Structure 1
Amino acid sequence: MKEFRVSVLVTFYNQEKYVDRTLQSIINQKTDFGVKIIVGDDGSTDGTCLKVREWIDKFPDQIELYVMDRNPGKQISGFRASRNRLKLLDYVETEYFIFLDGDDYYCYNYKLQKQVEILDDVANKDCIACCHNTDMLYEDGRRVTVTNAKIKERKYGPKEYWQKLYFHTDTLLTRRCVIEKIDKRLLENNFNDNLITFCFLQQGNLYYIPESWTIYFQTGDGIWTSGKEVVNHIRNMFLYDLCNKINPKMKKETDFRFASTWMELLRIRRTINPEDLGLFNVEAIDKKMDNSLKWINYRDIKFSSKLALCLKAVWKSKRKILLHIISDIYGVTLKRFLYERQK
């Protein structure tokens, strides 16, 4: 038995039909080290757990399963998914780990080997994670690459990434040392997608590889794709508030990244009904997310507060547009322009 160096943290919820494909893609990995598979099931009511246990029977030393209880009453899927991911971090004992959603899978058998070699290289000791491109696969067979092909293989720092880039979270092979730095109480209900990457970025750079080595399956059942418009934008405002709590020194970059969220909430402000967002309101109060709280309760706040919030949204959007114009005038890319301003 080879020594385990990587843990793949797989999250499932009622995804019985994808279990075999996902786990087989991990088992197929060609490595000179062992790969641990730690499965977190979010209380599935179909045959997902039964399927996983069939795999455990085949690989008892390699696969573990942890099942979350489901309490009665209304629950928010994104909150539960976050808790599932955070719980899996408690079981990581290997040098590196990586998340994988239950309906996604690996399409390159040397993916983990290549990523470990990059992070093992002393020249990349400043990198907290190694990531790569991914392809979205739709149920009709369409396949679309997520990250622009012009993004080159190299290291990307926190500010540069957060200004304009996106690498799918399930591609990040990450050093275990980040786990102890995560504020699990603050992030308990929002440790999803972009916020995961932002947390990891606080500990170092990302090494990016442009090849697509994973498939991001589009079923329409994801946290974002299955959500209502108002809920989705409130979720993003949660991320905005939380990112500013995690690292207020990156507020400029966070403002830039979430400018469209501010404008979308401004656009739909009259459709926001606080009665429909009760659990989100509780979360915003608990985590002291002031901007989110104001948007959730926009209907009921004072006129002066409404005016201030709307002006804030307009300013954040116009500021982003202004920076684009300035960069065009000076003949430089926006990314370079922002970077030069921060030196």
Structure 2
Amino acid sequence: MKQPKVSVLISFYNLAPYVDQTLESVLAQKTDFPVEILCADDGSDDGTIEKLRAWEQKYPDSVRVFVMDRVPGAKYEANERIQRMNAIRGRLFYEAKGEYVCYLDGDDFYTDEHKLQKQADILDADTEHQYVGCGHNGCYYWESTGRTEPIEKPLRACSLTAKEYWSFLYIHTNALMLRNVGLQGIDPYTSGVQIIDNMLTFQFLPYGGIYYLPDCMFNYRQMEGSTYHRRSVYQNYILNALMLYQQAVICKGFFASGLVRTVFEYGELFAARRNPQLTREAQTYMDNIRRYHAGRLRRIVNYNNESLPARLWCEIENPVWFFLTRVCRHFIWKPKVRALLEESRRKQEQNA
């Protein structure tokens, strides 16, 4: 195989029923450049590895498979589960030889055979490297009914600086094509931050902005057993809110954008601070919160276990932070971003 231009990095764990559809969707891509497909498995015991090996034998020039060691029958939850996901994604990144990399979860699949070509063309044309990545929309996909629904609100094609992107837009990691900064000797994994979706993308933002395409070009399968669904909504809010502290480990210039990005989660957590059941749910992630010295977040989610002075301070500080966030949003959301959001709002109303 010639030097690949794009490396597609796919992670698996007990996804045997979906291996064929996922790999077929990548191999069906129509490009004028070579594509390598790197598959990492977290020690599956349901036949996933055997299926991956069969694809590797059939396409030895395109497909490579890596398998992580796993204690037979071991179940990893919470932080351990995230750590193994990080290890898989890191291994794939270090193995990638392509100029560009695309992450993909093993149960999801591409729906546009020109996806990789469209994204690579945009990044190729960006000779000044204004963008570190090109992303697009995708669709939630319910296999039982075949129903699909766009993940993001309608938004036209646009270029965004890194701070503009971080302040208001979410692009699923499956929908991003990123420059392989590892080829320039940059290791985005050295921060040690737990890399789950948003933080995976943030690792690359110090090196450029994002170009966005509105096309829905992959399906995001909705499964009850997925890592996202294994956590409660409240726990997902905690992990998202923690990003405000994690991002500072990677790059300190995004604080205001991070305030805007996480304001919804902080608002929901603050509103639920007195619920003792949710305080118990939060204990799973208290080590993470302490590790990043996330004092404000700790006082909110651990409210019922905090001292009286800490609870009083929680009541005072958070309205101030919410006000500061509104100020930051006013100055970050320049006319371009406000116009994009207003246009999106109008389209949504028209389609309602």
Distance 1:64 1:229 in 2: 36
- Does 2:56 align with 1:56? yes
Measure how far apart 1:37 and its partner are.
0.8
Q: Which amino acid aligns with 1:114?
A: K
* SS at structure 2 position matched to 1:45: coil
**Cα distance in 1 for residues equivalent to 2:3 and 2:230:** 40
Contact 2:137 2:152 in 1 (8 A): yes
Question: Which position in structure 2 is the counterpart of 1:134?
Answer: 138
- Cα distance in structure 2, aligned partners of 1:292 and 1:318: 16
The structural deviation recorded for 1:287 is 4.1
- Between the aligned partners of 1:18 and 1:73, the Cα distance in structure 2 is 21
Match of 2:320 among 295, 315, 319: 315
> TM-score, normalised to structure 2's length?
0.84
Tell me if structure 2 keeps the 8 A contact 1:262–1:316. Answer: no
**Residues 164 and 335 of structure 1 are in contact (CA less than 8 Å); yes or no, is this contact kept in structure 2?**
no
Match of 1:258 among 245, 252, 262: 262
1:83 to partner: Cα distance: 2.5
Aligned to 2:77: 75
User: Unaligned regions of 5+ residues in structure 2, if any?
Assistant: 341-352
Deviations 1:270-303 (A, max 9, x none): 3356765555233333444444444454333222
Q: Distance in 1 between matches of 2:49 and 2:236?
A: 29
Are residues 185 and 323 of structure 1, via their aligned partners in 2, closer, same or farther at CA, if it must alter by over 3 Å?
Answer: closer
Which secondary structure state, in structure 1, belongs to the residue aligned with residue 170 of structure 2? coil
Q: Is the 8 A contact 1:86 1:184 kept in 2?
A: no
Q: Per-residue displacement from partner, 1:7-38 (whole Å, max 9, x unpaired)?
A: 10001111110100000001111112211111
Q: Report the equivalent of 1:340.
A: none
- Counterpart of 2:212? 208
Question: Which residue, 268, 271, 277 being the options, matches 2:276?
Answer: 271
**Structure 2: how far apart are the matches of 1:221 and 1:260?**
26
1:305 aligns with 2:310: yes
Query: How many Å apart are 1:319 and its aligned residue?
Result: 5.1
1:295-318 superposed Cα distances (whole Å, 9 cap, x missing partner): 454333222222222333333445
Structure 1 residues 84 and 144, CA gap change in structure 2 (3 angstroms): same
Could you tell me which amino acid in structure 1 is paired with residue 11 of structure 2? T
How far off is 1:75 after superposition? 3.1
Unmatched tracts of structure 1, length 5 or more: 338-343
Q: Residues 104 and 214 of structure 1 are in contact (CA less than 8 Å); yes or no, is this contact kept in structure 2?
A: yes
Q: CA deviation at 1:41?
A: 1.1
- Partner residue of 1:335? 338
Report whether the alignment pairs 1:159 with 2:163. yes
Per-residue CA deviations over 1:180-220 (Å, capped at 9, x if unaligned) read 24143421xx2111112222222101111111111111123
Q: Which amino acid aligns with 1:57?
A: Q
* Contact 2:19 2:48 (C-alpha < 8 Å) held by counterparts: yes
Give, in whole Å, the separation in 1 of the partners of 2:231 and 2:173. 19
The corresponding residue for 2:25 is 25
Pairs aligned (count): 330
**Cα distance in 2, alignment partners of residues 263 and 146 from structure 1:** 22
Distance in 1 (alpha carbons) for counterparts of 2:54 and 2:94:
24
Equivalent positions of 1:169-318 (< 5 A) are 169-177=173-181, 180-187=186-193, 190-269=194-273, 270-271=275-276, 280-295=285-300, 297-318=302-323
CA RMSD of aligned residues (A): 2.8
Report the equivalent of 2:6.
6
